């Protein structure tokens, strides 16, 4: 299935530091989306990167896509305590999710 697996499972950093999360697929991926989920809430769409794009920026977010390595990364720069959440990647077509990365940003 087109299920991404995020890595690491958990990440704890200090406010102001950058956070990098990775997503890998066993099968080929095309367009890929990243989502964020605060505890006990629904998922919020962060950014879409298309298969013909290698890098995309949105505010403090930077996403890369390497279709040959079947992987993507999400970088959050200058992290804030409010960035504490779980982050998921998903194939944009099938919208299946992995277990996510739990990011904790310490004030």
- Asked if residue 84 binds other proteins (CB under 8 A), the reply is no
**Would you call 20 helix, strand, or coil by DSSP?**
strand
| Interface segment toward other proteins; rule CB under 8 A; list 11-19, 59-67, 69-77, 99-107 | 99-107
- Asked if residue 64 binds other proteins (CB under 8 A), the reply is no
Nearest Cα residue to 23 out of 65, 58, 55, 60: 65
What is the spatial distance between Cα 14 and Cα 45, in angstroms, rounded to a whole number?
24
What is the spatial distance between Cα 65 and Cα 85, in angstroms, rounded to a whole number?
22
| Interface segment toward other proteins; rule CB under 8 A; list 12-20, 33-41, 54-62, 71-79 | 33-41
Residue with tokens 């940003």: 105
- Asked if residue 96 binds other proteins (CB under 8 A), the reply is yes
- Asked if residue 29 binds other proteins (CB under 8 A), the reply is no
Of 17, 44, 58, 78, which lies in the binding site for other proteins, with binding defined by CB under 8 A? 44
């Amino acid at each position: 299935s087109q299920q991404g697996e995020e890595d690491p499972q958990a990440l704890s950093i200090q406010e102001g530091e950058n956070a990098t999360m990775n997503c890998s697929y066993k099968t080929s991926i095309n367009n890929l989306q990243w989502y964020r989920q605060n505890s006990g809430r629904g998922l919020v769409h962060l950014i879409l990167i298309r298969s013909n794009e290698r890098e995309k920026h949105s505010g403090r977010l930077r996403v890369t896509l390497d279709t040959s390595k079947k992987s993507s990364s999400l970088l959050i720069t200058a992290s804030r305590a409010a960035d504490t959440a779980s982050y998921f990647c998903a194939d944009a077509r099938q919208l299946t999710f992995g277990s996510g990365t739990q990011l904790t940003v310490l004030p």
